[in-house]
Amino acid sequence: MQTFEGRTAVITGAASGFGLALAREGARRGMKLVLADVQEQAAQRVATELAGQGAEVLALGVDVSSATAMQGLVDATLARFGVPHLVFNNAGVTCGGFIWEHTLAQWEWLLGINLMGVVHGVRLFTPLMLAEAARDPAYEGHLVNSASMAGLLSLPNVGAYTVSKHAVVALSETLYQDLALVSERVRASVLCPYSVPTGIAASQARWAAGQGGEGEGVAAATPSQRVAAALTELSVAKGRVTAEEIAAKVFAAVAERQFYIYSHPQALGTVATRMQDIVQGRNPSDPFAEKPALREQLLQALRDAAP
């Protein structure tokens, strides 16, 4: 897809982080925008900002884990702009700690957004995009699913998040292969960023607040969960690659028909080691082998947090 001006993009998680950066980049390129976010007021503020720059914008409050809400997003998009050309299944949250310590509610919340949000976006928008490509020879469509470098690795103390992002990578790879069987003009990509300054580190606190807070049906955070939250916040805050830089990379990847999109390609050495573990039947390698100080930081934090 070489042309973006005048075309329509749907972005979930559009009020902050990558979603906000993608919205601004889309507006800069002259796109019509559908901004979906569970924080509707924040999405409306972004819409006001971009409309002030001349963009045509529709902002909606959408819980991507809800099939009904996602169908509403589709219906509103069709009514306002027609079949979109770009769909960014981007909404995401995080939840760390030892994998056996997550509650059922935490699993359902995280997988509902990180995985089922992407599933709903793919199952609802892809058939419309394929039908439009069959109807209009000039139509081009592209879906970009936001995963993470955690979808290519298996790091300790972030298990539930890792599970969700591995699933998004697998879903996206399969989507790419399935589309290749039926269309040359509807394509897919997967975004696998590493530590980038976004608002994702605050997502678990927002979830707990929405559940009533600790002591009202939400289990108190365990030491491993407190450590994961603190280290995630630190890692994200120290990220040197900005969300704006990643948004520009994403649009360039769409133009170049690139499937895998990385923010930190230098981290792929650890991914290669994991792949070799699988191919050679080795036990999983230490993901901190090249940066032992990170392992010691994690261990020390867990010791300090222990009762």
Strands (E), the chain: 8-12, 32-37, 57-61, 86-89, 141-146, 186-192, 260-262
Q: How far is residue 141 CA from its own chain's centroid?
A: 19
- What is the structure's pLDDT at 136? 96
Whose CA is closest to 145, among 100, 199, 190, 195? Answer: 190
Whose CA is closest to 7, among 129, 141, 191? Answer: 141
CATH topology of domain 8-266: Rossmann fold (3.40.50)
- What is the structure's pLDDT at 301? 74
DSSP secondary structure string, 249-271? HHHHHHHTT-SEEES-GGGHHHH
**What is the β-pairing status of strands 57-61 and 86-89?**
unpaired
Tokens matching residue 28: 């800069």
The answer to whether 129 touches 9, Cβ cutoff 8 Å, is no
**In sequence order, what are the beta bridge partners of 61?**
37
| Domain spans of the chain, in order of start | 8-266
- What is the structure's pLDDT at 128? 98
Whose CA is closest to 140, among 19, 258, 8? Answer: 8
pLDDT tens-place string over residues 44-72 = 999 999 999 999 999 999 999 999 999 99
Return the SS3 of 81. coil
More confident residue, 299 or 49: 49
Q: What is the mean pLDDT of residues 6-23?
A: 96
* pTM above threshold 0.85: yes
- What is the structure's pLDDT at 289? 81
- What is the structure's pLDDT at 216? 37
Residue 233 pLDDT more than 80? no
Q: Quick one: residue 32, left, alpha or beta (phi over 0 = left, psi -120 to 50 = alpha)?
A: beta
- What is the structure's pLDDT at 217? 39
Q: In angstroms, rounded to a whole number, what is the distance separating the alpha carbons of residues 257 and 266? A: 21
**Angle (nearest 5°) at CA 258 between 165 and 284:** 40
**pLDDT band at residue 109 using 50, 70 and 90 as cut-offs:** very high
**pLDDT band at residue 239 using 50, 70 and 90 as cut-offs:** low
The answer to whether 245 touches 256, Cβ cutoff 8 Å, is no
Q: In angstroms, rounded to a whole number, what is the distance separating the alpha carbons of residues 97 and 227? A: 7
Measured torsion, CA atoms of residues 275, 102, 92, 284, in degrees rounded to the nearest 10: -10
**pLDDT band at residue 297 using 50, 70 and 90 as cut-offs:** confident
**pLDDT band at residue 219 using 50, 70 and 90 as cut-offs:** low
Which residues make Cβ contacts (< 8 Å) with residue 165, sequence separation at least 6?
Answer: 114, 147, 148, 150, 151
- What is the structure's pLDDT at 42? 95
- What is the structure's pLDDT at 37? 96
**In sequence order, what are the beta bridge partners of 37?**
61
- What is the structure's pLDDT at 7? 98
- What is the structure's pLDDT at 203? 52
pLDDT tens-place string over residues 172-207 = 999 999 999 999 999 999 999 986 444 554 555 554
Tokens matching residue 192: 């696998």
**In sequence order, what are the beta bridge partners of 191?**
146, 261
Amino acid (1-letter code) at residue 307: P
Amino acid (1-letter code) at residue 194: Y
More confident residue, 173 or 228: 173
**pLDDT band at residue 213 using 50, 70 and 90 as cut-offs:** very low
* Average per-residue pLDDT for the chain: 88
Which residues make Cβ contacts (< 8 Å) with residue 139, sequence separation at least 6?
Answer: 83, 85, 129, 132, 133, 185
